[in-house]
Structure 1
């Protein structure tokens, strides 16, 4: 029979985020002790502080990783940088951060049972309308984000640590606490949705509850050891479909406003200027924009 007990305490990176906070909830429901790596400036709104242990630090700070790893039995590494204008930062966080976390586990968690790396389908590359990529296909990421996530996977595989590990590549995640979905609902509520002119882009989606269920399975099932898995709903859908489903859920009729692809670089540049002035992440960073339009 497969092992069904998660060995704790579990270190969760990215626990203050959308996916990570749901993973923390699921681990607590199973009665597992949880430690979260968080920055001093992190928003802890989704974390039950009275039920978990906080380890202050950053994925780019080796000393804090060493401290956070002491006594840990399992790791869920979901921290990542998804949007930035600093291209080197993708690799500092998504590749080097992963490598340093693995080394911290090797040096400071001698009883570690499982290391679970949450990657992304963007590491595999875009899906065509005729063929969905599988785990056996050659990776062809097109964005720096996807390339850096693939580099993080390969860093783990190259080190080949003495503990068991699993890599999961989820599709685009949606569900409660998802800020991107809330923005889309906001547009639908107002009656209009902006789309890119031409055929609507395909996206492989997965609900956060389905993903968390799969991650829990990856943490416990011995069959998953040393494996890489794609996790998404069987059929990719278009962004137009996503908008239509949101409108149906809200009981709204919407008007789709088509923007020519040729205008997107200018729109992205304007969004970058706004983000810089307001000290926010650029929601249309060119690298991620290119990824979304594949």
Structure 2
């Protein structure tokens, strides 16, 4: 990039924090919108970051955020939505409407570069509303060409310190000696959050990244049951995993999705009908992905038990 200012939409979340830190190390100037500035105090330690309280779904506000920006990184995603067809309203808002607004605002402001983080398994005919909405969001990004040079990244489930995946299961296996598990045989290829941040950073500077849709995954395929068993071993638990049939998993999810901050939804169960793995290279440009076993023990080992309940803690207002 010849210029140095990047707008990160979704920059205050788990992945966004890693991306912001990575781009800051590259010396880029960052603009990160947030609904509440108090929630993103952890980003204030980054050099040259502008935290703006803003509603990114408001077109005039988004137009203002685009001023003086050279590139946009789009990271917003949600895992749960009220139901609907072909996808629910919350999926539509986050995964389809927002990418559409970003493309329109970027074109209006003359911003020509956008990196969009979607999801592995996104497909118009996917079994879940989540997957179908992610595919629709990708289509909205591609519609920005030729004025907008886009790159779409499709990560598998992302792990790292503070994630809502392995940390969630760490809390569950510590709490329950027997764990009924829906989708136990579903296959995943988890990718390290730092790898995702590194690929985003590389995509912003590589001319050959424009127009590419790239999978992002780790080096190894696991079943969900294998991942939960691994977390149990790391945390010193002897939890018994009881695989559930899909009808029972859907029944379990129907109960769980009624809870505040649901751990599982029926749409999540339907997503697991399709293996979340890549059929090609796990990462673009010959990158070597980080093995889960080389980093996860740093924060999920027995010495780190206090962190196992992070997934159950509500964020402070």
Is TM > 0.5 for Structure 1 vs Structure 2? yes
Contact 1:6/1:219, CA 8 A, preserved across alignment:
no
TM-score (normalised: structure 1):
0.83
Q: 1:245 is matched with which residue: 209, 227, 230?
A: 230
Structure 2 CA distance for partners of 1:115 and 1:42, relative to 1, 3 Å: farther
Q: Which of 241, 255, 262 is matched with 1:256 structurally?
A: 241
Larger mean CA deviation between 210-219 and 260-269 belongs to 260-269
How far is 1:18 from its partner?
Answer: 0.8
Aligned to 1:31: 27
Q: 1:197 to 1:206 in 2, by over 3 A?
A: closer
**Alpha-carbon distance in structure 2 between the residues aligned to 1:244 and 1:188:** 9
Residue of structure 1 equivalent to 2:9? 13
- Kindly tell me: are residues 193 and 160 of structure 1, through their superposed partners in 2, closer, same or farther at Cα, counting changes over 3 Å? farther
| Equivalence map 1:90-129=2 (5 Å) | 90-108=91-109, 110=110, 112-124=111-123
The corresponding residue for 1:216 is 201
Task: Tell me the CA shift for residue 114 of structure 1.
Answer: 1.9
- 1:118-163 Cα deviation digits (max 9, x unpaired): 0101304xxxxxxxxxxxxxx6422111111111111121231413
Which residue does 2:311 correspond to in 1? none
SS, match of residue 257 in structure 2: helix
The C-alpha deviation readout for 1:13-69, integer Å capped at 9, x for no partner, is: 111111011000111111111111211377325422664112222332212211111
Query: TM-score w.r.t. structure 2 length?
Result: 0.77
CA distance in structure 1 between the partners assigned to 2:150 and 2:245 by the alignment: 44
Contact 2:184 2:225 in 1 (8 A): no
| Unmatched 5+ stretches in structure 2 | 275-317
Aligned to 1:169, the other structure's residue is in SS state: strand
Matched, 1:89 2:90: yes
What is aligned with 2:151? 166
**Gap change, CA 1:145 and 1:179, over 3 Å in 2:** same
Aligned to 2:67: 70
- Give the match for residue 182 of structure 1: 167
Tell me what 2:271 maps to: 291
Preserved CA contact (<8 Å) 1:75 1:116:
yes
Question: What is the CA distance between 1:191 and its match in structure 2?
Answer: 6.1
* Count of residues paired in the alignment: 269
Which moved further from structure 2: 189-198 or 263-272? Answer: 189-198
